[in-house]
């Protein structure tokens, strides 16, 4: 996008007096206007930003700060400023055009298109309409083939890198209750780690309703000392999406390779189908189903077929913090393939609830809590009881947008797997700080 767009310049020339006549002019805003007209948005942004805490709520100040932030490469901050303008002047089409431009810079094309089309339908100067047509054409072209991706690097501490029990001795009922001492690799080990991940997603529209969707992603966790528990996860998916109005149906194939200590531990292939229904612009419901074939290259006896059905709901709320909440529930079965090993298969059911809220200027807090119940198909040969697990998970964190497409993330995750068999009972705490780059 060109610095200080036609929308911004035309808005300053044609509409400042109409929309901001009630706001008194002063040296600060006059200087900012001149800088924007001279195509010096960075200087205007640096001039206005230090006064934000004192002047926020003044529509003229917020408007100038908003367009200066967008053209200076800070669209997130531009959105905050322009939202304040629209909160007190909802019919300010100039500010609406600029917030559409900010959404486009943030990659939120649907929101940008909606705002641009709203402005275009109003009585605005030909120069503004021409600029908006250019943006809408660019959005339409990008909508044919969309390529998005990310790369993330992080560092953290894991209290239990091998998800193992904390005790080093257990009683084995099948051996007369003898007390067995566990190998150190079978008990809880803590370590620091480096995390690397990245991925690419592609959407290509064949028609207005049909699109090809696919992507690949990889995530590696490299422990500082306990390298025998290093992991690598590679995922791929390819499918088709049909959408019309408020409905979208996606069907596709999924592949996954999970490696432990540089050896293949589990291979997964399967299919997934989901139906998404938008109740309105802020609420969406989803129904999905997944079938997976699980293969363990070095432990064929653990091979299984996994089937999961679930529903989900998400909602964006209005308000100062723009909170987002979501919830999902699912149930399924992991059925063992081998004969005579019912204790390796299980039925499962779970719930997940989470959300996020934007606190201020690029700072977002988020959190998730989840519960999963697993009941296995028969008595464990060594412990002579049927295994039952109740797993509780919680994640809490903050993210801060350092600059467009660059986010700093800090989070803490906690897992408590409460099992009636001691060797399967464990807790785990993982703290991570990472830097994420989106493109």
Q: What percent of the chain has pLDDT over 90?
A: 54
- Per-position DSSP letters for 337-365, written without gaps between them: -STT-GGG-EEEEEEEEEEEEEEETTEEE
Q: Please say whether the beta carbons of 99 and 70 come within 8 A.
A: no
Residue ranges with strand state E in 361-385 = 363-379
Is 6-144 a CATH 1.25.40.10 domain? yes
Task: Give the burial class of 295: count Cβ atoms within 10 A of its Cβ; 0-12 exposed, 13-18 middle, 19 or more buried.
Answer: middle
Closest CA to 430 of 416, 420, 438: 416
pLDDT the model gives residue 120: 80
- 114 compared with 224, residue with greater pLDDT: 224
Report, as an integer, the average pLDDT of 221-246.
95
425: tokens are 């009972």
pLDDT in tens, 256-313: 999 999 999 999 999 999 999 999 878 999 999 999 999 999 999 999 999 999 999 9
Q: Tokens 């690097």 belong to which residue?
A: 153
pLDDT, tens only, 368-378: 999 999 999 99
Residue 163 has pLDDT above 50, yes or no: yes
Q: What is the DSSP letter of 168?
A: S
- pLDDT for 280 equals 84
Among the ranges given (38-42, 162-166, 357-361, 420-424), the one the predictor scored with the smallest mean pLDDT: 357-361
Mean pLDDT on 239-246:
92
Mean per-residue pLDDT for 186-205? Answer: 93
The C-alpha atoms of residue 345 and residue 332 are separated, in whole angstroms, by 11
Cβ neighbours, 10 Å, residue 268: 15
Q: What is the pLDDT of residue 295?
A: 97
- Residues 276, 279, 280, 281, CA torsion sign: negative
Q: Say if residue 70's pLDDT is above 50.
A: yes
pLDDT of 128 over the 80 cut: no
Pair type for strands 426-438 and 247-260: unpaired
d(CA 119, CA 86): 13
Q: What is the pLDDT of residues 318-331, one digit of tens each?
A: 777 789 999 999 99
- Which tens digit of pLDDT belongs to each residue from 178-194? 888 777 778 899 999 99
Q: Which residue has the higher pLDDT, 405 or 285?
A: 285
* Residue ranges per structural domain of the chain: 6-144, 145-438
In the prediction, which pLDDT does 143 show? 66
What pLDDT, on a 0 to 100 scale, did the predictor assign at position 201?
A: 94
DSSP designation for 237: E
Q: State pTM to two decimals.
A: 0.74
pLDDT exceeds 70 at position 129: yes
Average pLDDT over residues 221-248: 95
Beta bridge partners of 50: none
Q: What local confidence, expressed as pLDDT, does residue 21 receive?
A: 42
Phi and psi, residue 137, nearest 5°: -65, -40
* Range in 40-44, 145-149, 222-226 with the lowest mean pLDDT: 145-149
CA distance 93 to 78: 16
Q: How far is CA 211 from CA 39, 243, 273, in A?
A: 40, 9, 15
Condensed to tens digits (0 to 9), the pLDDT of residues 3-49 reads 445 444 444 434 444 444 444 447 888 888 889 888 889 999 999 98
Which of 121-130, 191-200, 358-367, 376-385 has the least mean pLDDT?
121-130
Q: Looking at the domain that runs over 145-438, which CATH code has it been given?
A: 2.40.160.60
The pLDDT, as a whole number, for residue 400 is: 93
Quick one: how many helices (H) and strands (E) in the chain? 9, 16
pLDDT for residue 408 is more than 50: yes
3-state SS of 21-80 is CCCCCCHHHHHHHHHHHCCCHHHHHHHHHHHHHHHCCCHHHHHHHHHHHHHCCCHHHHHH
**Average per-residue pLDDT in the chain?**
88
Phi-psi bin for 187: left (phi > 0), alpha (psi -120 to 50), beta? Answer: beta
Least confident of 35-39, 213-217, 320-324, 427-431: 320-324
Q: What is the pLDDT of residue 153?
A: 98
Question: At 206, is the pLDDT very low, low, confident or very high (cuts 50, 70, 90)?
Answer: confident
Q: What are the pLDDT digits (tens) for 73-116?
A: 888 888 888 989 988 888 888 888 888 888 888 878 778 888 88
Written as six digits, the tokens of 39 are: 């195509």
């Amino acid at each position: 996008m060109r610095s200080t767009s036609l929308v911004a310049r035309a808005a300053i020339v044609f509409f400042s007096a109409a929309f901001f006549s009630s706001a008194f002019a002063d040296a600060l805003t006059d200087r900012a206007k001149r800088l924007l007209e001279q195509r010096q948005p960075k200087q205007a942004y640096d001039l206005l930003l230090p006064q934000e805490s004192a002047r926020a709520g003044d529509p003229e100040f917020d408007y100038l700060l908003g367009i200066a932030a967008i053209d200076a490469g800070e669209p997130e901050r531009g959105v905050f400023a322009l939202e304040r303008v629209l909160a007190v002047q909802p019919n300010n089409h100039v500010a609406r055009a600029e917030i559409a431009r900010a959404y486009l810079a943030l990659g939120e094309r649907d929101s940008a298109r909606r705002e641009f089309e709203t402005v275009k339908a109003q009585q605005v100067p030909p120069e503004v309409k021409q600029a908006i047509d250019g943006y809408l054409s660019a959005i339409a072209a990008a909508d044919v083939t969309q390529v998005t991706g990310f790369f993330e690097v992080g560092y953290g501490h894991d209290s239990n890198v091998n998800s193992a029990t904390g005790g080093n001795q257990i009683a084995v009922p099948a051996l007369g209750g003898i007390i067995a001492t566990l190998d150190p690799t079978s008990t809880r080990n803590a370590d620091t780690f480096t995390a690397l991940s990245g991925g690419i997603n592609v959407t290509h529209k064949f028609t207005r309703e049909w699109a090809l969707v696919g992507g690949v992603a990889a995530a590696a966790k490299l422990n500082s000392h306990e390298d025998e528990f290093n992991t690598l996860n590679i995922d791929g998916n390819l499918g088709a999406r049909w959408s019309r109005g408020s409905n979208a149906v996606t069907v596709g194939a999924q592949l996954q390779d999970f490696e432990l200590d540089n050896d293949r531990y589990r291979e997964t292939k399967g299919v997934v189908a989901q139906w998404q229904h938008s109740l309105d612009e802020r609420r969406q419901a989803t129904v999905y189903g997944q079938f997976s074939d699980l293969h363990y290259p070095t432990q064929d006896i653990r091979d299984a077929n996994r089937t999961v059905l679930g529903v989900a709901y998400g909602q964006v709320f209005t308000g100062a913090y723009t909170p987002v909440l979501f919830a999902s529930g699912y149930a399924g079965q992991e059925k063992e393939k081998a004969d005579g090993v019912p204790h390796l298969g299980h039925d499962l059911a779970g719930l997940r609830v989470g959300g996020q809220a934007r606190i201020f200027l690029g700072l977002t807090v988020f959190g998730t809590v989840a519960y999963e119940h697993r009941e296995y198909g028969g008595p464990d040969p060594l412990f002579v009881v049927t295994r039952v697990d109740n797993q509780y998970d919680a994640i809490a964190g903050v993210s801060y947008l350092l600059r467009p497409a660059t986010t700093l993330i800090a989070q803490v995750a906690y897992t408590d797997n409460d099992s009636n068999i001691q060797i399967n009972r464990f807790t785990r705490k993982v703290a991570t700080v990472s830097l994420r780059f989106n493109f």
